[in-house]
Amino acid sequence: MLIKVQLLQESEVGSPSKIGGVAKLWHPRSGGNRRFPWHLAIFLAPAAVIYTAFMVYPLVDSLRLSLYNNSGSYIGLDNFRTLLGEPVFADRFWNALRNNFVFFAFHCLVQNPVGLALAALLTAKGIRGQHIYRTVIFLPTTLSVVIVGFIWRQILSPLWGINDSALLGESSTVLPTLSLISVWQFVGIPMIFFYAVLISIPDDLIEAARVDGANGWRIFWSITFPLLLPTLGIITVVTFIANFNAFDLIYTVKGALAGPEYSSDIMGTFFYRTFFGNQLALGDAAMGATVASAMFFVILIGVLAYMLLWQRRITTYQL
Amino acid sequence: MKKLLTRWIVVLLAFGLIAAACGNDDDDSGAAPEEPMATEEPMDDPEEPMDDPEEPMDDPMDDPQETATISIESWRSDDAAIWNDQIIPAFEAQFPHINVEFDPTVPTEYNAALDTRLAGGTAGDLITCRPFDASLALYNRGDLAPLNDLPGIENFSSVAKSAWITDDGSTPFCVPMAAVIHGFIYNRDAFNLLSLSEPETEEEFFELLEAIQEDGTYTPLSMGTNDQWEAATMGFQNVGPNYWKGEEGRLALLDGSGKLTDQAYVDTLASLKRWSEYLPDGASAVTYTDAQNLFTLGQAAIYPAGSWEITGFNANADFEMGAFYPPPPAGQSTCYISDHTDIGLGLNAASDEPEAARTFLTWVTTSEFAEIFANALPGFFSLQSEPVALDDPLAQEFASWRNECESTIRNSYQILSRGEPNLENELWAVSVDMLTGDGDPVAGAQRLQDGLDSWYTPGS
């Protein structure tokens, strides 16, 4: 996930100038004897080939599979009609989608403020051991989700855990609890990104504001926050993608049925049950691919909304 | 400059070749709809190295040219040591030219991983069979070979074979290996301390629970509903056969003369609902392993069980254990137990060593295998017509119920879980509702029948 974040950020920061560079190097209608820039193609080839073979092709094939039935004949959008129309699937689908948005909302509303607060503490003057905290808080991100799920299940167990109530057993509390476990694990990522932004803000900006009579509150909203916004956007969209692909934590803690009564069911567990089957229910490859396609479209819409509505309007400041 | 360009072109061509090679691979497997499942497989790998150290010991005796190696797919990773130390050496001692490898996958991944391997042609020669539809689907797809003419298949009764036979009863495709029996395992120390005795009727059972509850030293029933399946498997299917009269009720559901809204099923659910008071605190978040630990740590008095627990409990509990079968409701003299056909062994139709694999299967039908298996894994009871001598007292207790009570299998397993909503999963949900004390038995039974009615036409 961290790598994805970096790639996104690099491409965002770097792309305009690179595209400009390409245009200068090779433009068919301008200079007549300029050659096709083979070196660019060659340097792009390894990534493009591997990405196509292992990401693009399976993705396209999965989308194709959702237009076929299990005996292999083309049935158009019938699978999607089943998914959205038949109560057996539609109830589960809408429930999973709603739960997934709740899961995402918890991440947005808890992970970002807490990550920012931690980053602020890490950059605050006069707190000892900041390097240690930085490492320790980031550490859970590197743990296996299976381990995290197992440990938290023991911590929250009504038999041997810290509380007597069944936080992971009641339909009203299970999804918030799972969301917060996930936030606990991944809060290090926004923290590190906000931290990077905060330490890049020049001291003289802050000092100038202070000389002008601004208090800490005003400095945060007028200087720090605008500078954080691009990073906040990237973290949000990356969290969105990760949340709508999430599966492992729920599966580890609650199993594929995501109980009680599907109250912790998200798109990932719904997909798993549909595609691979569960206990006596046999897997259904075509409907599984249909659920996977639906997940893809949800994520696509989310990312497009980010790019069109947010990224284009946000002002990036060069410091 | 020209030289440089030539070099680049060579590099580019090399990439092109690699890309083409990748493309071909993808085309081959692209036709199989199961392809994305391949991502599951790495999960199985950590299991394998555990088995390897066992094998070299068996090898040196054999003539390498004549040795046939066959492997067994299984979800019983818990039993790997027993297969490698007891069952396989006993077989290889008789058939030194056949080398057998036990290659298990974790239970929750087994069906999916097996499907992938069968589709990709990498599955083992012998396939451990889940009962009923999962294996029937494999047979219908041509992945399992018919076993009509397997020597020894006649050693099994038709009930034993029912879990691995075509719907018309003509072609068996797996050799029945073992059944599991439901009942209650209890802590003898707790019963002695509180001067309690095994209940004979259902009312006595609830009086017993009440007495343990009042004393307060022990949790009366060690069970949770977090994982859902245990509520149905060790709750509903455990006590239910007493109400629906075993096979009679099960077959009535299949032919449509019985409904899940019948009084028998409402009563079963109502009885489960009464359990809710005696479960541990926060039972809705207590997992299957939590419940096992609670019992083996001596903190709970009674564990609603399947006989497969015996091995683990013997290893982990340091107190004496006893067992009683589900006590029938007042006024009913016949008791019914769930004696569920659980494990079979089938032949991969695409096996490279079908003769060696069939030799192993025939050996599985013998009483020699049954005796090793049943004693190595107390709690997994042989399905052969001829009874097997058991050493473990707890296993003996379970097995003795076969003489006292009528046997049946879980009612959701044959045919009734073929559609959506899946009866088995519905049973999980409804049983959980009862055990949390929130559900209404009549409404629960109605939900089960409505779900079944939506796709199942009896007799079709």
Domain edges within chain A = 102-266
State residue A211's pLDDT score: 93
Give the pairing type, strands B174-187 and A277-278.
unpaired
Question: Residue A149 has which token pair?
Answer: 């799920």
What SS3 state is found at B33? coil
B265 neighbors B243 (Cβ within 8 angstroms)? yes
pLDDT in tens, B154-211: 888 877 888 899 888 889 999 999 999 999 999 999 999 999 999 999 999 999 999 9
Cβ–Cβ of B15/A286 closer than 8 Å?
no
* Residues of chain A contacting B423 with CB distance shorter than 8 Å: 280
Q: Which of B279, B203, B276, B209 is nearest to B242 (CA)?
A: B203
**A181: contact with B, CB 8 A cutoff:** no
The distance from CA B244 to its chain's CA centroid, rounded to whole angstroms, is 23
By the CB < 8 Å criterion, does B24 face chain A? no
What is the average pLDDT across B57-64?
44
pLDDT of residue B6: 61
Size of interface A-B (CB pairs under 8 A): 141
CA separation for the pair B119, B106 (Å, rounded): 19
Q: Using CB atoms and an 8 Å cut-off, which of residues 139-158 of chain A contact chain B?
A: 153, 156-158
pLDDT of residue A20 exceeding 50, the answer is no
Query: Is B112 at the interface with chain A, CB within 8 A?
Result: yes
Among A57, A260, A278, the residue with its CB nearest the CB of B284 is A260
Q: Domain A102-266 is in which class?
A: mainly alpha
pLDDT of residue B16: 54
> Would you say residue B249 has pLDDT above 90?
yes
Residues B106, B116: Cα–Cα separation, whole Å? 15
For the beta carbon of residue A118, count every other beta carbon within 10 angstroms: 21
Quickly state the pLDDT bin for A125 (edges 50, 70, 90).
Answer: confident
pLDDT reading at B459 higher than 90: no
Overall residue count recorded for chain B in this entry: 460
Position A280 scores a pLDDT of: 74
Closest by CA to B227, choosing from B291, B323, B166, is B291
Residue of B nearest to A61 (CA): B30
Structure tokens of B9? 């072109």
By the 8 A CB rule, do B224 and B284 touch? yes
For residue B330, is pLDDT > 90? Answer: no
Q: What is the pLDDT of residue B44?
A: 37
Contact between chains at A157 and B30 (C-beta distance less than 8 A): no
Predicted confidence (pLDDT) per residue in B359-399, tens digit: 999 999 998 898 888 888 888 998 887 778 888 999 999 99
Weakest-pLDDT range from A33-37, A89-93, B377-381: A33-37
Residue A45: is its pLDDT beyond 90? yes
Higher pLDDT residue, A295 or B4? A295
The CB density around residue A162, as the number of other CB atoms within 10 Å, is: 9
Does A158 contact B285 at a Cβ distance shorter than 8 Å? yes
Distances (CA, A) of A275 to A229, B188, B272, B310, B435: 39, 45, 32, 34, 30
B53 burial type by CB count under 10 A (0-12 exposed, 13-18 middle, 19+ buried): exposed
Q: Is the pTM of this model over 0.80?
A: no
Decide if pLDDT at B41 tops 70: no
Predicted pLDDT at B11: 56
Touching check for B286 and chain A: CB below 8 Å? yes
pLDDT band at A172 (very low <50, low <70, confident <90, very high): very high
**B29 sits in which H/E element:** helix B2-30
Q: Strand locations in chain A, DSSP E?
A: 277-278, 281-282
Q: What is the mean pLDDT of residues A164-192?
A: 93
Rounded mean pLDDT, B26-48: 35
Nearest by Cα to A186 from A145, A153, A231, A140: A140
Nearest-CA neighbor of B402 among B338, B345, B348?
A: B338
Biggest CA-to-CA distance, chain A: 79
In the predicted model, what is the mean pLDDT of chain B? 84
Q: Which of residues 288-317 of B touch A (CB under 8 A)?
A: 290, 293-294
Residue A10 has pLDDT above 80, yes or no: no
pLDDT higher than threshold 60 for residue A36: yes
Question: Which residues 259-318 of chain A have a CB within 8 Å of chain B?
Answer: 259-261, 275-283, 285-286, 289
Q: How much is the average pLDDT of B138-156?
A: 90
Residue A250 and residue A266 in contact, taking contact as beta carbons nearer than 8 Å: yes
Angle at B308 between CA B173 and CA B357, to 5 degrees: 30
Q: Are B380 and B179 in contact (CB under 8 A)?
A: yes
Given an 8 Å threshold on Cβ–Cβ distance, is A260 in contact with B12?
no
Nearest-neighbour CA in chain A from B150: distance (Å): 28
Name the minimum distance, in Å, from the CA of A66 to any CA of chain B: 10
- What separation, in Å, do the N-terminal and C-terminal C-alpha atoms of chain B show? 78
Mean pLDDT on B347-351? 93
Strand partners, B179: B341, B381
A268-292 pLDDT, tens per residue? 999 999 988 877 777 888 999 999 9
Which pLDDT value is given to residue B133? 84
Q: Would you say B445 and B434 are in contact if contact means Cβ atoms under 8 Å apart? A: no
pLDDT band at residue B35, thresholds of 50, 70 and 90? very low
> What pLDDT score was predicted for residue B107?
79
- Calpha distance B68→B78 (Å, rounded): 26
pLDDT (average), residues B328-341: 91
